[in-house]
Amino acid sequence: YSECERLGVWYRRCGKLIVAVNQDEVPELEKIYERGKVNGVPDTEFLDAPQAKKIEPNITCVSAIFVPSTGVVDSHELMKAYMHESRSNGGDIAFGVEFLDAAPTSSGYTLSLKDKGGERTDLSSRFVINAAGLFSDVVASKFGIDVQAAGYKIYPNRGHYYRVSATRSKLVTRLVYPMPPPKLTGLGVHITVDRAGQVKLGPDFEYIDPSTPVSEWYKFDDSRKEKFYTAVARYFPALQREDLSPDQVGVRPKIQAPGEPVKDFIIQEESVRGLPGLVNLIGIESPGLTCSHEIAKQVAGTLASMK
């Protein structure tokens, strides 16, 4: 929040509920509550059904965790603010440039690039930070890293969002999460609230078949509406099927293959692989947005120690 205030970026500290809709889910909810306390999440409360109703009258559950410190941020404002800050400190940003290849030199690396017009350019740099998201494994491989052996392989995972009608959107004011599925493959289809108070449901979870072209990744599959409705109506019973309309599709850069347990972000300076000054950021999913400042400090500190 202090970072948003420093940069003049909109945010709202709206709070979040994590709900158990039946008694069978309560033991796992209690584990999440205890883990939150151990990890220092501030002011977290464990609520019974009447207490949860006071906070969100239209949400149904038997128990809930209330996290008042949770909030939402205007992600586009945040990205633009960082872009302007970079430029004001002497950084250059080139959009629409394709990364082709990399070669180590005695003083760093030579990068081969191609612009929108097809013109190729070579750029030399002492340091390289690979923050290529869904294609970070491809970039890492250009430096000669065996991404499969290193655990850097990306498994793109698609998630759909449905928009809720304006009438029903007025019935919820906070984020509401169900119990997460096993192995943390996702966080479950949950309720989010954007800057305008518009409620969205999502995302779901689907590994993309390797044969699927990138041009097909973001096409919306509206056959999922019933699944979304069934998932959310368990804890938001006022919701009606006709309240849902397609919104958007996002793709996560997962490093856990189908069936594998959850894996943490990879933030790795590669001197151990004979590539000093290369930092790979691999498998950084959506929490990387609000962690971006801390990730940047960690990377900058690592590289500053190498000068």
Residue 127 CA to residue 135 CA, distance in Å, equals 19
**pLDDT for 84 beyond 60:** yes
Average pLDDT of span 149-165: 97
Q: Which amino acid is at 152?
A: Y
Q: Which residues contact 33 (CB under 8 A, 6 or more apart)?
A: 44, 46, 65
Q: What mean pLDDT do residues 73-82 have?
A: 96
- Buried b vs exposed e over 185-200: b needs ≥16 C-beta within 10 Å? bbbbbbbbbeeeeebb
Q: Cβ of 140: how many Cβ atoms within 10 Å?
A: 28
Task: Please tell me the predicted confidence (pLDDT) of residue 182.
Answer: 62
Residues 17, 19, 20: CA angle, nearest 5 degrees: 165
Q: Output the pLDDT for position 149.
A: 97
pLDDT > 80? residue 187: no
Alpha helix positions (H), the chain: 2-7, 26-38, 49-55, 75-88, 136-142, 147-150, 166-169, 225-233, 287-290, 292-304
Tokens matching residue 242: 């006709």
Q: 183: pLDDT confidence band, cut at 50, 70 and 90? A: low
Tell me which residue of 21, 11, 2, 28 sits closest to 70, measured CA to CA: 11
How far apart CA 118 and CA 121 sit, in angstroms, is: 10
Distance CA 262, CA 157 (A): 13
Tell me the average pLDDT across 274-301.
95
Average pLDDT of the segment spanning 103-127: 96
**Edge-first strand listing for the sheet containing 120-125:** 98-105, 108-114, 120-125
Percent of the chain at pLDDT > 70 equals: 98
Burial of 24 from C-beta contacts in 10 A (0-12 / 13-18 / 19+): exposed
Instruction: Count CB atoms within 10 A of the CB of residue 224.
Output: 18
Closest CA to 134 of 215, 216, 251, 253: 253
pLDDT above 90 for 181: no
Q: What is the mean pLDDT of residues 187-215?
A: 93
pLDDT of residue 305: 95
Q: Is the pLDDT of residue 231 over 80?
A: yes
- Whether residue 14 has pLDDT greater than 90: yes
User: How does the average pLDDT of the chain come out, rounded?
Assistant: 95
Tell me the CB-side half-sphere exposure of residue 165, using CA atoms within 13 A. 10
Least confident residue range of 13-22, 68-77, 177-186, 247-256: 177-186
